[in-house]
Each structure stands twice: as structure tokens, then as C-alpha cells.
Amino acid sequence: MATSQKASPRDRLLDAAARLSYREGVSIGIEALCRAAGVSKRSMYQLFDSKEAMLAASLERGIPWYEARFTHPAAQAASPRERILYVFEQLERASEDTGYHGCPYLAVLVELKNPEHPASKVARAVKERLAAAFRDEAARGGARDPELLARQLLLVFDGASARAGAGVERLADGLATATATALLDAAGVGPTGTA
């Protein structure tokens, strides 16, 4: 995302935090963030209590885009199975981008390792919403154990995302979707079901 000089200092900082922390990790320094945003450290501290607060705000700001990316375009007409598989198809597409480094929310959880960090709280909430969406769709689709299936699907999603983000796995061959399909079949979520 290009930083526009017309954007507010707050928006430029949030853009820089999102871009740099995704590319280089959350340990990126304040100076680098401020330099990338074209904002002084003094201004940054007037806008945010801390770098941690800025990172959390940056992650929060990205949630609508992130969640929309995985929402089936014909959600009302699609079956639960189709809505679940769409998430994995989108993951596979995203992983082919040259700048792909995995799920930004999973990366924050892994890197920070502190459940009380403000950014960890945001990231955990996003991952919990994805698990809840999988669970709800699994229940709608008639899964024998929607909770277990949701956990399995999230494990595949996060594992595929992490491996593709680390450059050790290519998802273009449909591996994530095939794995999710096998889980859906085993759980009794067929091609048709309650929409």
C-alpha cells in the first residue's frame, strides 16, 4: 500500500506498521516506522501511547479487508461446504503473491508469544472469529462434530499459511483445498447442505 502524503499522520503510521511488520516482523523499530511513514517520533507518541498500541491499531484496521477476502462472493447462495472451501481457495491464491509471508495475524501470535500484548489480543480475536465461522458452517453443513472440524480446518489453514509464508510449501497445486475437502468428507459435510 503506497503511503500518500495526503493521508493523515495517523493513517501513514498505520500503513507503515502494517506493511513493515508484515514484511520484517513486529520487532521493527520505531525509527524505521516513523521514517517510512514520514512522521516524527514525537508525533507518533502524540497519536499512540506506544509502538504496541500502534501495531494493535494497525492490525485492527486490517480486519475488514482480511475477513472480506475469505467471504464467498455468493455467500447466500453457496452451501456451507462451498463457503468453507472458498477460504482455502483464497489462501492458495494469496500464497502465490510474491510478497506473501503467511497470515499476518498468525505471524503476530507466533512472533510475540505474549498473549497479553495488545497486538496478540487483536490477532487472537481474528483467529477465534475464523474458527467460529468454520464451526458455524460445519454445523450448518451437518458435520458430526462441528467443533472438532473447525479446529482441524483452522490447523490446516494456519499450517498451510505458515509453510507457504516461509517459502517451504507451494499451495498452487491445491493442497490446502484438497486437505480441507478430505476433512469435510470425513466429517459428513457433503456438497449440498443448508445454505
| Measured CA angle at 156 (ends 149, 85), to 5 deg | 70
Best CA proximity match to 137, nearest among 154, 159, 161, 162 = 154
Average pLDDT over residues 61-69: 96
The whole-number pLDDT of residue 191 equals 80
Average pLDDT over residues 101-129: 96
159's grid cell: 499450517
Indicate if the pLDDT at residue 195 is higher than 90: no
What average pLDDT is seen over the chain? 94
Tens-digit pLDDT profile for residues 170-179? 898 999 999 9
Length of the chain measured in residues? 195
The whole-number pLDDT of residue 3 equals 46
Determine the longest span between alpha carbons in the chain, in angstroms: 57
Please report which residue ranges of 25-117 form alpha helices under DSSP H.
30-37, 41-47, 51-69, 80-95, 104-112
CATH class of 9-57: mainly alpha
Give ranges for CATH 1.10.10.60 in the chain.
9-57
Q: What percent of the chain has pLDDT over 90?
A: 91
Architecture of domain 70-187: Orthogonal Bundle (1.10)
